[in-house]
Structure 1
């Protein structure tokens, strides 16, 4: 996936995500998964691993080494099964990385920003920006499943070839056959037309191309994702009641699909409601700010204690915005360090903040929001801070829309 769980998802936070089983997504995704560590880079994109991945590797290694291999190639030493099981599980994780790498590489070729790739319990997730065209969205979404299907076919072919050789090649043959079927399942499963799975992203792109309206396409696809997720959870529950442990995984995956699809549906509704509204129509101005060169103690005494906000934009010596500092972050600094540390040292730098120009579409500006700064968009014109858009401002726009009064003429 591309987005969350394998598939893809885009959202107000940072565009698309891919998740379960492998894929790419675009929807309200948000930040990277908590509890993940950075392993390196793939195609210039950070590669992360969630703490749940080792558990997944152990589960696959156990299933392959204790159940599959002894049945298909009996009479081998236990250590052979164990090593082959670990090797097969590692190869499957590598397949997931290649699945997500395909999403990331395709997105970058289409000039879509990619934040990172994360492996987790339900597969993989690629966080990226929103594609600008239906064609780009289609290519990003389909690239992951196609990669899995190609890998599956290659592994099956190699496994069949080694099986013919026999003897010492029998164990590697079984591992490759198992890997091939796993990749084929991964590719086909991700083509289910349910957001945030890759098939849901493909459906979104096709609907977008057909309707010429991205928001309507997103609403339709996310509604289908919710229905499919409920059906998956129900089917998993039935399997679980019949004694099939895999039913529990299907239940979790179905619930995940339902929740993410619901979030994307709300996000698509937000985009639709804010269509045609500019950032300067929603922003609050003037903005209460603080100097970034103050020590934390000075900032607390001169700015924070008088502020009515949970976060304060910072300005540098030249009066240009340099970031945002959250008040709770200041409270976490030890008292003995507050007199020496500058407030900018604990702030979120401007490069990691959501920034928009006054005449930018508000809906597009919301796609730049990140979890680090929350629902805050700094409005910058000619290098100077002229306003800020917060969750309250967006809510006011939504209320105006629900009353049918539009949004023009709103003052901050």
Structure 2
């Protein structure tokens, strides 16, 4: 997920935090400290409510991390490579490769909600126990709130629609029954699109009825619909990429340009002869130093083009993902990290640049394979 920052590792898996996470902590912390706790445990100071609300928000964040970590641990035990865990305002996402069996997909999917159920039960039990002790009413209320939130999170995640965990369960069931993983992914994604539209509709009905909390439901529905639509597109495209090598998709020969040239000089002298949408920049020693999208170059304001150099607006090659010519394109695309993505540098023997793969190249391969009858509708 873009706009996230790497914050270390959890059991060896890179952990990324989206910029909306502080918003999540503040939103739930404020709601807990200003409404839930004063109503349930009246008579405390504002400082007590504020600190308890902040603690509750942080505990909720920790429980979301536990949910995603369960997915990662189970995936690794099933032999599925895990790329990263990302937390953001609407929960979390664990990036991993495709499961090899329907059984593995099922256990990876249910591990998260089961963890949330366990966390919820433990928090409720601890809250009930502390409530019986004098002087522990506020911590007990925070734990009770945390327990119910985790139970709701677990139930919501088990709704039978992608990208929710319940959608992964549906996917595993369809895959096991039909033996067709792509068909199963499309079925779960269509269910996710329908659920997203339903949540958006219910959210706006609630808002029109004066319940502002419906806006949050609409936001969740929008997220579900967008991600489910993306997964549906991926499920249609993936069969067309199966068996395709990076060398079959890359643009070659590569168009290069010196990175010290100004934008204006490039526009005046070299742009008319450029055939590709992405250029490879080279430094004074002829080594690749960056990738430059023509579309990005066009956004440089005209008054600045005389002073801005190409390297100033390019993506450095150190941030680009690489692969070998014989690598399978589908596997390479699955392993792309949120910070890299396309385009890809195709390197022979890990040193010599022989081509690049852009989004346009991938689309070209998909169209070609679909015309041959290998893509699914």
2:292 paired residue among 326, 349, 353: 326
After superposition, what is the alpha-carbon deviation per residue over 1:205-232, rounded to whole angstroms, capped at 9, x for unaligned?
3322332222111111101111111112
What is aligned with 1:230? 197
Query: Which sections of structure 1, spanning at least 5 residues, go unmatched?
Result: 1-31, 408-412
Query: Which sections of structure 2, spanning at least 5 residues, go unmatched?
Result: none
Is the 8 Å Cα contact of residues 311 and 324 (structure 1) preserved in structure 2?
Answer: no
**CA distance in structure 2 between the aligned counterparts of 1:362 and 1:348, rounded to whole angstroms:** 22
What is aligned with 1:8? none
CA RMSD of aligned residues (A): 3.7
**Structure 1 residue 250 displacement after superposition:** 0.8
**Structure 1 residue 252 displacement after superposition:** 0.9
Q: What TM-score do you get using the length of structure 2 for normalisation?
A: 0.80
1:173 paired residue among 128, 140, 143: 140
Flag the 1:82–1:265 CA change in 2: closer, same or farther, 3 A.
same
**Structure 1 residue 365 displacement after superposition:** 3.7
**CA distance in structure 1 between the aligned counterparts of 2:197 and 2:10, rounded to whole angstroms:** 34
Is the 8 Å Cα contact of residues 366 and 377 (structure 1) preserved in structure 2?
Answer: no
**CA distance in structure 2 between the aligned counterparts of 1:144 and 1:182, rounded to whole angstroms:** 14
Alignment of 1:9-408 (within 5 A): 32-34=1-3, 36-165=4-133, 167-289=134-256, 296-297=260-261, 307-313=274-280, 324-326=290-292, 348-349=316-317, 352-358=320-326, 360-369=327-336, 375-383=342-350, 384-404=352-372
**CA distance in structure 2 between the aligned counterparts of 1:70 and 1:337, rounded to whole angstroms:** 57
**CA distance in structure 2 between the aligned counterparts of 1:157 and 1:45, rounded to whole angstroms:** 30
Is the 8 Å Cα contact of residues 110 and 136 (structure 1) preserved in structure 2?
Answer: yes
Deviates more, 1:53-62 or 1:226-235: 53-62
**CA distance in structure 1 between the aligned counterparts of 2:315 and 2:27, rounded to whole angstroms:** 41
**Structure 1 residue 330 displacement after superposition:** 8.8
**CA distance in structure 1 between the aligned counterparts of 2:307 and 2:320, rounded to whole angstroms:** 28
Point out which structure has higher relative CO (alpha carbons under 8 A, 6+ apart): 1
After superposition, what is the alpha-carbon deviation per residue over 1:80-103, rounded to whole angstroms, capped at 9, x for unaligned?
222222222221122112222222
After superposition, what is the alpha-carbon deviation per residue over 1:285-322, rounded to whole angstroms, capped at 9, x for unaligned?
433457xxx76349998997664334345799999x96
Q: What TM-score do you get using the length of structure 1 for normalisation?
A: 0.74
- Partner secondary structure for residue 131 of structure 1: coil
Is the 8 Å Cα contact of residues 342 and 358 (structure 2) preserved in structure 1?
Answer: yes
Is the 8 Å Cα contact of residues 262 and 305 (structure 2) preserved in structure 1?
Answer: no
Give the aligned length.
366
**CA distance in structure 2 between the aligned counterparts of 1:405 and 1:156, rounded to whole angstroms:** 55
Flag the 1:399–1:224 CA change in 2: closer, same or farther, 3 A.
same
